[in-house]
Amino acid sequence: MKNIDISAVSYAYSSKAIIFHDLNLAFQSGKTALLGPNGAGKSTLLSLMASVIAPSSGTLEIVDLAGNRVCHRELSKFRRLVAWLPQDFSPVAGLSVLEHVRYSGWLKGMSRKDAKRATPLALSAVGLESLADKKATELSGGQQRRLGLAGALVHQAGVVLLDEPTAGLDPGQRDRFRQILASLDKQQITVVSTHQTEDIDGTFDHVVVLVDGCVRFNGSVNEFMAVAPASAVDPRDRVRLAYAAFVEGEI
């Protein structure tokens, strides 16, 4: 995929809770970290991009390398191109890990045969192949997120949207998730919302900072770190300071 274009999108939970007003933004292929404080609209933006919710106005379009566009109103087509892992992912009861991923693929429009064939690859990509026969609801929190990711990835989507996938995970599980993220195809548009700025350098290609429904920054990781004071040498410190500068309104 080439990019996902968000044009003049507005969304409000109620007349008093307006999240976006005429938002314009584009995500390119590669991995993008979506940063922002709580309430900035990160999860809402990902939900809009995943087509879980619809904008009250404006359009979201996925553009492939040939320039073909799929609008969010073409729901079925649009959803086939999107993989989504919500922050509060929880598996379907009564299914094993293997069955869960197959069911995810089928829900995404894959034939039974294709879903069956693609499942081992998806499980292997997230390191759950050894737990294939275990009940999905018996997995640990980190394993469940990986299961959710396997389910999201099984149909080879062009757009991967992950909402705080490492929140609440222990350092070992976070490392594991970083490795999985690193292994994702660079041709995909991968957008990951996160609070963990230490994950940015080395994992992501682009950064978007969202504050109060407005885009404060949209650029490469290097451009983002360049905002940090020259005194900061460690890349992690540079990311943290840059983020603080955007969020606290210094820039």
Q: Smallest distance, Å, CB 149 to another protein?
A: 10
CA 202 to chain centre: 17
CA–CA gap between residue 65 and residue 246 (Å, rounded) = 32
In angstroms, what is the minimal distance from the CB of 54 to another protein?
5
Closest contact distance (angstroms) between CB of 86 and another protein is 5
79 vs 206, beta carbon nearer another protein: 79
Nearest to 234 by CA among 200, 204, 205: 200
Cβ closest to another protein, residue 42 vs residue 216: 42
User: Tokens at residue 176, please?
Assistant: 């594991």
Residues that bind another protein (CB under 8 A): 50-54, 56, 75-76, 79-80, 82, 84-86, 88-96, 99, 102-104, 106-109, 112, 115, 148, 151-152
Count CA atoms within 13 Å of residue 72 on its CB side. 22
Helix (H, G, I), strand (E, B) or coil at 23: strand
Contact 159, 1 (CB under 8 A): yes
Q: What is the Cα–Cα distance from 98 to 151, expressed in whole angstroms?
A: 10
Select 63 or 98, whichever has its Cβ closest to another protein.
98
Instruction: Tell me whether residue 102 or residue 206 sits nearer to another protein (CB atom).
Output: 102
In the bound complex, what is the minimum distance in angstroms from residue 76's beta carbon to another protein? 5
